[in-house]
Amino acid sequence: MDIHERARIRAGDPLAFGRLFDQYARAVYNHAFRLTGDWATAEDVVALTYLDTWRLRERVDLEGGSLRPWLLGIATNASRNIARSARRHQATLARLPRDEIMPDFADELVGRIDDTGRLATVRAALATLRRAEREVFALVVWSGLDYHGAAEALGVPVGTVRSRLARARGKLQKLTDAALSERSESSQHSARNREPRSGSGQTKGSRTAAVRPAQEETP
């Protein structure tokens, strides 16, 4: 981004902000969705991100590269704030009498996303990570920022990004290995249960196969 475009953003030029939104809205939305796991919440994060971008526009340096790391950093903070508000909301609901709690349709809404099952599996694994590790993983692995971009987004040193990402990958690798091992043992157990018992399905003295092919239909 050139110095003139940055100057327009700092000055609050609506057209410049429109171009900024068009250029990075999808990246911000994807990052927010991966952090929250909910399409509606991700849209809220996008809206808050651009409101905060407008509020913090004077912090944009006149010289520099892409503003994507800065926007993803703001989106990360917005996701944290929404998560805190959700926890407070849930705590309030938990204190209400049981018959006053309204039904929650969030699961039905998330079901509109094609890859909900895969996302749920990934989020279950990511839930075992610390928040700082999840954020670094999302920025580097999913959003494709380099170490310096992730460090800029989070406001931490590059070395911190490296160490957090290494811990995240190590933990996820252990979970993956454990899941594969469990799946293999389950498959072997199911195969053993499907094996026919000795002598079953076969008449004594007969050479007829224990399992016969299904009879073909005549045309």
Whether residue 216 has pLDDT greater than 50:
no
pLDDT tier, 183 (very low <50, low <70, confident <90, very high otherwise): low
Encoded amino acid at 157, one letter: P
Encoded amino acid at 59, one letter: R
Encoded amino acid at 67, one letter: L
pTM across the whole model: 0.59
Residue recorded with tokens 């005549």: 218
Question: Residue ranges of the alpha helices (H) in 127-157?
Answer: 131-137, 147-154
Residue recorded with tokens 């992730």: 150
Q: Name the residue among 170, 107, 106, 160 with its Cα closest to residue 135.
A: 160
**Polymer length in residues for the chain:** 219
pLDDT tier, 104 (very low <50, low <70, confident <90, very high otherwise): very low
Q: What is the pLDDT of residue 135?
A: 87
Q: Collapse the DSSP code of 57 into the 3-class scheme (helix H, G, I; strand E, B; otherwise coil) and give the result.
A: helix
How far is residue 183's CA from residue 162's CA, in Å, rounded to a whole number?
31
- Per the CB < 8 A criterion, the answer to whether 82 and 48 are in contact is yes
Q: 23: buried, middle or exposed (CB in 10 Å: 19+, 13-18, 0-12)? A: middle
- Per the CB < 8 A criterion, the answer to whether 9 and 16 are in contact is yes
Burial 94-126 (b: 16+ CB within 10 A, else e): eeeeeeeeeeeeeeeebeeeeeeeebeeeeeeb
Q: What is the pLDDT of residue 68?
A: 94
pLDDT tier, 215 (very low <50, low <70, confident <90, very high otherwise): very low
- Per the CB < 8 A criterion, the answer to whether 87 and 170 are in contact is no
For residue 177 the two structure tokens come to 């290995």
How far is residue 198's CA from residue 179's CA, in Å, rounded to a whole number?
33
For residue 4 the two structure tokens come to 């003139």
pLDDT tier, 36 (very low <50, low <70, confident <90, very high otherwise): confident
How far is residue 157's CA from residue 152's CA, in Å, rounded to a whole number?
8
DSSP tag of 152: H
Cβ atoms < 10 Å from Cβ of 80: 14
pLDDT in tens, 130-144: 888 888 988 988 888
